[in-house]
Amino acid sequence: MAPEPAGIVLAAGAGSRLRPLTDLRPKPLCPVGGLPLVDHALTRLAPLTGDGPAHLAVNAHHHADAIRAHCESRVTVAVETGDEALGTAGGVANLLPWLDGRDALVTNADQYLPGGLAGFTDGWDGERCRLLCRPDPAKNDFGRGLRYVGACLLPWQLIRHLEPEPTGLYEVLWRRELEGGRLDLVVLPESAVAIDCGTPADYLAANLHASGGRSVIGEGAQVLGTVNSSVVWDGAYVAPGEVLERQIRAGSRERSVTVAG
């Protein structure tokens, strides 16, 4: 039996499409259903990789200190120190010494996958890149009417020569494997929920799914007005008479941020 892969959460992106929310905290620490996105990601990896700093790693760049403070007692945190984030391939390459010959199970911190990754490693040959996808004719990733949903298995033999420089996995690895007919695509059913929380609308949708359609109110939030199908972060404030409708409220009473979802 092949050894368990090591788990990597890619969490270095700036989250520019979620600004101004990501001016307050990095996207991986934005809560979905009251739990930071990075914690959702670690929870789906751990059953397949094992738990703790020897088995799980997170890369960080934007607001790296906040991610390190949140994660480092539980996982290995690799902070990217350059002006530019290393991207998906460069981020994995930066963790090659930590991987130390192990295959990698990689997931994006901003992907909401409530179904988890149960069974994703079953039957894997350990030789081909395995990617998790779902049907989406509008996206058409890999030329097959599919959308990549932020989880992959990467064999050590294919990633050991990656360089820690700003590069993407598709450009330096997956395109070549696709052209050679060697990508192993696992396709979720159309009914599966997989939300990339890159925009306010998608971030709101993930929260409403996690809550069963109810507004999500964070710990310590003061809600004195009306909140419908919205997200109120921990410590945020909704004034008396104020109405939030499909919006995200963050910050504090003194520095309130509102984004339409």
Residue 2 pLDDT > 70: no
CA 31 to chain CA mean position, Å: 12
DSSP state of 107: E
Strands 195-196 and 111-112: antiparallel
pLDDT at 186 over 80: yes
What are the CA-CA distances from residue 209 to residues 1, 192, 194 (Å)? 37, 12, 11
- How do residues 111-145 score in pLDDT, each as one tens digit? 999 999 999 999 999 999 999 999 988 888 887 78
Can you give the pTM of this predicted structure? 0.94
Q: Tell me the pLDDT tens digit for each residue of 191-200.
A: 899 999 999 9
Q: Are 193 and 209 in contact (CB under 8 A)?
A: yes
Set out the domains of the chain in order of their start, with CATH numbers: 6-195 (3.90.550.10), 215-260 (no CATH)
pLDDT of residue 82: 83
What is residue 1's predicted lDDT score, i.e. its pLDDT?
A: 43
For 40-97, how does the pLDDT look when each residue is reduced to its tens digit (9 = 90+)?
999 999 999 999 999 999 999 999 999 999 998 899 999 988 888 889 999 999 999 9
**C-alpha angle 169-170-171 in degrees, rounded to nearest 5:** 95
127, containing H or E segment:
none
Q: At a CB cut-off of 8 Å and minimum separation 6, what does 255 contact? A: none
Q: In whole angstroms, what is the distance from residue 6 CA to residue 119 CA? A: 16
**Residue labelled with tokens 């609308």:** 201
Selection from 109, 99, 129 nearest residue 61 by Cα: 109
